[in-house]
Structure 1
Amino acid sequence: MSYRQTPTIVVLQEGTDTSQGRGQIISNINACLAIQDTLKSTLGPFGSDLLMVGSDGKTTITNDGATILKKLDVVHPAAKILVDISRSQDCEIGDGTTSVCLLASEILKNCKPFIEEGMSSHSIIKGLRESCNYVIEKIKDLEINLDEKPLDEEYDMLIKCALTAMNSKIIQQNGKFYSKLVVDSVLTLDRDDLDENLIGIKKIPGGAMEDSLFIKGVGFKKTFSYAGFEQQPKKFINPKILSLNVELELKAEKDNAEVRIEKVEDYQKIVDAEWGIIMDKLNKIIETGCNIVLSKLPIGDLATQFFADRGIFCAGRVSNDDLERTNKAVGGSILTSVNDINKEIELGTCEKFEELQIGSERFNIFSGCPLTKTCTLILRGGSIKIIDEIERSLHDAIMIVKRALKNKQIVSGGGAIEMELSKNLRDYSHSIKGKRQLIIQSFAKSLEIIPRQLCENAGLDSIELLNKLRNLHANNEINFGLDLDNDNVSNNFEKFIWEPSVVKINALQSATEAAILVLSVDETIQNKENDAQGGAPRGRGMPMPAGM
Structure 2
Amino acid sequence: MSFGGQTPTIIVLKEGTDTSQGKGQVISNINACLAVQATIKSTLGPYGGDLLMVDANGRQTITNDGATVMKLLDIVHPAARILVDIARSQDAEVGDGTTSVVVLAGEILKEVKEHVEQGVSSQIIIKGLRRACTMAVNKIKEIAISTENEASDSDSHRETLSKLAATAMTSKLIKRNTEFFTKMVVDAVLSLDQEDLDEKLIGIKKIPGGSLTDSLFVDGVAFKKTFSYAGFEQQPKAFSKPKIVCLNVELELKAEKDNAEVRVEQVSEYQAIVDAEWQIIYRKLEAVYQTGAKVVLSKLPIGDLATQFFADRDVFCAGRVAPDDMERVVQATGATIQSTCSDILPEHLGTCGVFEERQIGGERFNLFAECPEARTCTLVLRGGAEQFIAEVERSLHDAIMIVKRAIRNHSIVGGGGACEMEISSYLHQFADKNVPHKQQAIIKSFAKALEVIPRQLCDNAGFDATDILNTLRVEHRHRGHTWAGVDFVHEGVADMMERFVWEPALVKINALQAATEASCLILSVDETIRNEESAAPQGPGRALPPGAAQRALRGRGRGMPMR
TM-score by length of 1: 0.96
Q: Could you tell which deviates more after superposition, 212-221 or 431-440?
A: 431-440
Cα deviation 1:33-88 (Å, max 9, x = unaligned)? 00011001000011010011111110000001110010011110100000000000
Q: What amino acid does structure 2 have at the position aligned with 1:403?
A: R
Q: Could you tell which deviates more after superposition, 334-343 or 15-24?
A: 334-343
Offset, 1:130: 0.9
Q: Which residue of 2 aligns with 1:417?
A: 419
Q: Which runs of 4+ in 1 moved over 2 A?
A: 1-11, 252-267, 530-548
Offset, 1:253: 8.5
Q: What amino acid does structure 2 have at the position aligned with 1:444?
A: A
Does residue 101 in structure 1 map to residue 102 in structure 2? yes
Does residue 249 in structure 1 map to residue 252 in structure 2? yes
Does residue 151 in structure 1 map to residue 161 in structure 2? no
Does residue 128 in structure 1 map to residue 138 in structure 2? no
Which of 348, 351, 354 aligns to 1:349? It is 351
Mapping 1:452-467, distance limit 5 Å = 452-467=455-470
Give the distance between the partners of 1:2 and 1:220, measured in 2 at CA.
Answer: 78
Give the distance between the partners of 1:121 and 1:529, measured in 2 at CA.
Answer: 31
Does residue 536 in structure 1 map to residue 546 in structure 2? yes
Give the distance between the partners of 2:255 and 2:370, measured in 1 at CA.
Answer: 41
Q: Which residue of 1 aligns with 2:441?
A: 438
Does residue 316 in structure 1 map to residue 326 in structure 2? no
Give the distance between the partners of 2:58 and 2:262, measured in 1 at CA.
Answer: 50
CA contact (8 A) 2:161 2:186 kept: yes
CA contact (8 A) 2:16 2:534 kept: no
Give the distance between the partners of 2:2 and 2:383, measured in 1 at CA.
Answer: 86
CA contact (8 A) 1:135 1:425 kept: yes
Q: Which residue of 2 aligns with 1:489?
A: 493
Cα deviation 1:92-138 (Å, max 9, x = unaligned)? 00000000000001000000011111111111111111110111110
Q: What amino acid does structure 1 have at the position aligned with 2:532?
A: K
Q: Which residue of 2 aligns with 1:213?
A: 216
Q: Which residue of 1 aligns with 2:292?
A: 289
Q: What amino acid does structure 1 have at the position aligned with 2:311?
A: A
Change over 3 Å in CA distance of 1:245–1:535 after alignment to 2: farther
Which of 327, 330, 352 aligns to 1:327? It is 330
The residue matched to 1:388 in structure 2 has which SS? helix
Does residue 499 in structure 1 map to residue 500 in structure 2? no
Q: Which residue of 2 aligns with 1:173?
A: 176
Q: Which residue of 1 aligns with 2:142?
A: 141
Cα deviation 1:12-50 (Å, max 9, x = unaligned)? 111111000000000000000000110010000110100
Does residue 33 in structure 1 map to residue 34 in structure 2? yes
CA contact (8 A) 1:6 1:546 kept: no
CA contact (8 A) 1:186 1:401 kept: yes
Give the distance between the partners of 2:257 and 2:547, measured in 1 at CA.
Answer: 55
Q: What amino acid does structure 1 have at the position aligned with 2:295?
A: I
Give the distance between the partners of 1:247 and 1:170, measured in 2 at CA.
Answer: 43
Give the distance between the partners of 1:335 and 1:497, measured in 2 at CA.
Answer: 48
The residue matched to 1:510 in structure 2 has which SS? helix
Q: Which residue of 2 aligns with 1:16?
A: 17
Give the distance between the partners of 2:413 and 2:548, measured in 1 at CA.
Answer: 59
Offset, 1:265: 2.3
Give the distance between the partners of 2:111 and 2:195, measured in 1 at CA.
Answer: 43
TM-score by length of 2: 0.94
Does residue 240 in structure 1 map to residue 243 in structure 2? yes
Q: Which residue of 2 aligns with 1:358?
A: 360
Give the distance between the partners of 1:214 and 1:323, measured in 2 at CA.
Answer: 18
Offset, 1:366: 0.7
Cα deviation 1:155-176 (Å, max 9, x = unaligned)? 0100000000000000000011
Cα deviation 1:381-428 (Å, max 9, x = unaligned)? 001110000000000000001111111100000000011111001000
Q: Which residue of 1 aligns with 2:399?
A: 397
Change over 3 Å in CA distance of 1:185–1:298 after alignment to 2: same
Q: Could you tell which deviates more after superposition, 5-14 or 324-333?
A: 5-14
CA contact (8 A) 2:247 2:299 kept: yes
Change over 3 Å in CA distance of 1:485–1:539 after alignment to 2: farther
Q: Which residue of 1 aligns with 2:75?
A: 74
Does residue 450 in structure 1 map to residue 453 in structure 2? yes
Offset, 1:256: 6.3
Give the distance between the partners of 2:335 and 2:378, measured in 1 at CA.
Answer: 19
Change over 3 Å in CA distance of 1:138–1:268 after alignment to 2: same
Cα deviation 1:193-246 (Å, max 9, x = unaligned)? 111001000000000001111111111111011111111111111111000011
What is the Cα-based RMSD across aligned positions, in Å? Answer: 2.2
Q: What amino acid does structure 1 have at the position aligned with 2:529?
A: I
The residue matched to 1:357 in structure 2 has which SS? strand
Change over 3 Å in CA distance of 1:45–1:539 after alignment to 2: farther
Q: Could you tell which deviates more after superposition, 6-15 or 378-387?
A: 6-15
The residue matched to 1:430 in structure 2 has which SS? helix
The percentage of aligned residue pairs carrying the same residue is: 61
Q: Which residue of 1 aligns with 2:275?
A: 272
Give the distance between the partners of 2:52 and 2:123, measured in 1 at CA.
Answer: 40
Give the distance between the partners of 2:145 and 2:137, measured in 1 at CA.
Answer: 14
Offset, 1:519: 0.5
Offset, 1:539: 3.8
Give the distance between the partners of 1:6 and 1:148, measured in 2 at CA.
Answer: 76
Give the distance between the partners of 1:264 and 1:174, measured in 2 at CA.
Answer: 71
Offset, 1:252: 8.1
CA contact (8 A) 1:8 1:544 kept: no
Cα deviation 1:438-467 (Å, max 9, x = unaligned)? 111111100000000000000110000011
Change over 3 Å in CA distance of 1:460–1:539 after alignment to 2: farther
Offset, 1:546: 10
CA contact (8 A) 2:15 2:544 kept: no
Does residue 517 in structure 1 map to residue 521 in structure 2? yes
Q: Which residue of 2 aligns with 1:59?
A: 60
The residue matched to 2:373 in structure 1 has which SS? coil
Give the distance between the partners of 2:95 and 2:329, measured in 1 at CA.
Answer: 26
Give the distance between the partners of 1:357 and 1:223, measured in 2 at CA.
Answer: 13
